[in-house]
Amino acid sequence: MAQASHAAGAPHSTTGIDSRKVLMWIFLASECLFFGSLIATYLVFKNDIPLPPAGFLEDHTKDGVVTGWFPTDRVIDGVKYKGVLSIPITSASTFVLLMSSVAMVLAVYGAQNGRPKMMKIWLLGTMLLGLIFLGFQVFEFHEFGAYGLNLATNQFGASFFVLTGFHGAHVTVGVLMLGSMLLASMRRTGLGPEAGFHVETIGLYWHFVDIVWIVIFTVVYLIPA
């Protein structure tokens, strides 16, 4: 096959594609099912939020407004509910994650074109942007907790935290992989002859995390209830 993306010395396969790359794409396809199920669960529960019990209303009403129950602002039976989702903050974190994907692709470019310094700089950049994204997520979770919303509050809280929490866990794994790749590249021998392949593989994972967030941002934050 003309397009054999073989790394030097990589195991050959009948498809002509490096088996490790095929494996990575199969993994990403399976991750689509994982996140697809979580997003579907969120969409179902987002429209199935019962009114809060009296105890919650007593604890989380301030100046006549109830917080920490619904994702968006609404008025039900004369009671005002303030939504917990903050689009401006999440837009900033979305921008950070998009830019991390640009940084990642530049790191892959550096690795595949014999430019180790460029690769290291952009690997570091990607990692830092990933950490900033995680910082935004920690801030958001902390804010929601202060409003009174947690995993056990209602169906919205449960499905929201599971979905975005698993995404955050994926970003964390990505940051750890980027860090280990960066450390390995600092060795005297660098990443070896397969540097381009290794960085590209981690890049696939990182971009996947980005495309999942593209969907989450639209479904959870931008599309109204």
CA distance 69 to 28: 34
Q: Which of residues 133-152 bind other proteins (CB under 8 A)?
A: none
Stretch of 61-69, 127-135, 169-177, 204-212 lying at the interface with other proteins (CB under 8 A): 204-212
Residue 179 is a binding residue for other proteins (CB under 8 A): no
Residue 109 is a binding residue for other proteins (CB under 8 A): yes
Identified binder of other proteins from the candidate list 169, 183, 193, 225, rule CB under 8 A: 193
Q: Which of residues 17-76 bind other proteins (CB under 8 A)?
A: 17-18, 21-22, 25-26, 28-33, 35-37, 39-41, 43-44, 47-50
CA distance 37 to 180: 30
Residue closer to other proteins, measured from CB, 79 or 215: 215
CB of 31 to other proteins, least distance (A): 8
CA distance 49 to 196: 48
- Specify whether the CB–CB gap between 183 and 77 falls below 8 A: no
Three-class SS of 150-190:
CCCCCHHHHHHHHHHHHHHHHHHHHHHHHHHHHHHHCCCCC
Residue closer to other proteins, measured from CB, 50 or 64: 50
Q: Residue 27: helix, strand or coil by DSSP?
A: helix
CB of 32 to other proteins, least distance (A): 4
Residue closer to other proteins, measured from CB, 10 or 145: 10
Strands 65-67 and 61-62, bridge-based pairing: antiparallel
Q: Edge-to-edge strands of the sheet including 61-62?
A: 61-62, 65-67, 79-82, 74-76
Residue closer to other proteins, measured from CB, 31 or 143: 31
CB of 105 to other proteins, least distance (A): 5
Residue 89 is a binding residue for other proteins (CB under 8 A): no
- Specify whether the CB–CB gap between 94 and 213 falls below 8 A: yes
CB of 10 to other proteins, least distance (A): 8
In the numeric block, the tokens 């590209």 are attached to 200
CB of 184 to other proteins, least distance (A): 9
